[in-house]
Amino acid sequence: MQKPGLPCKTLSLAHLLGNKWTIPIIELFPAREGSEMRFNEMQEQIRRIQPRNLSIGLKELCDAQMLEKSAAKAPNTGYRLTGKGVALIGLVHSIKKLGVQIYGIDASCIGRKCGVCMAMQKGRSV
């Protein structure tokens, strides 16, 4: 999982979380190990993401062992959430709670997916 050039795994994780599409992608999955989604399903749910960006985000999450790619051939390729991915979803939830606590973010943020807010900023609904 360690990103080349970063001195530790903690910084690698922080870098992964800082990527624009990491949180919207990981939030698509139900918070249980083994839950699976297909590429096209994900693209439909995150309407603003370009296929290339989704591919890059999925590869980074697979490299970090948050997701596993199924062995099926395209277009049936799916991605499964790992135990580490479930933990990442928990971390995202904790970050949202912290944002409410220290920044006064609206508490409804906790129950809403980040992709929804991204779409609302552009005046679109998800």
For 112: left if phi > 0, alpha if psi spans -120 to 50, otherwise beta; the answer is beta
**Which pLDDT belongs to residue 2?**
55
Q: How many residues does the chain have?
A: 126
Which tens digits make up the pLDDT trace of 51-99?
Answer: 999 999 999 999 999 999 987 777 678 999 999 999 999 999 999 999 9
Hey, which bits of 49-115 come out as E strands? 67-69, 78-81
Q: Which helix (H) or strand (E) holds 20?
A: none
CATH of 9-121, one of 3.30.360.10, 1.20.120.1770, 1.20.58.100, 1.10.10.10: 1.10.10.10
For the chain, which residues make up each domain, given as ranges? Answer: 9-121
For residue 72, the 8-state DSSP code is: P
| Whether pLDDT at 126 is above 80 | no
Q: How far out from the chain centre does Cα 125 lie?
A: 19
Instruction: Give dist(CA 58, CA 38) in Å, integer.
Output: 11
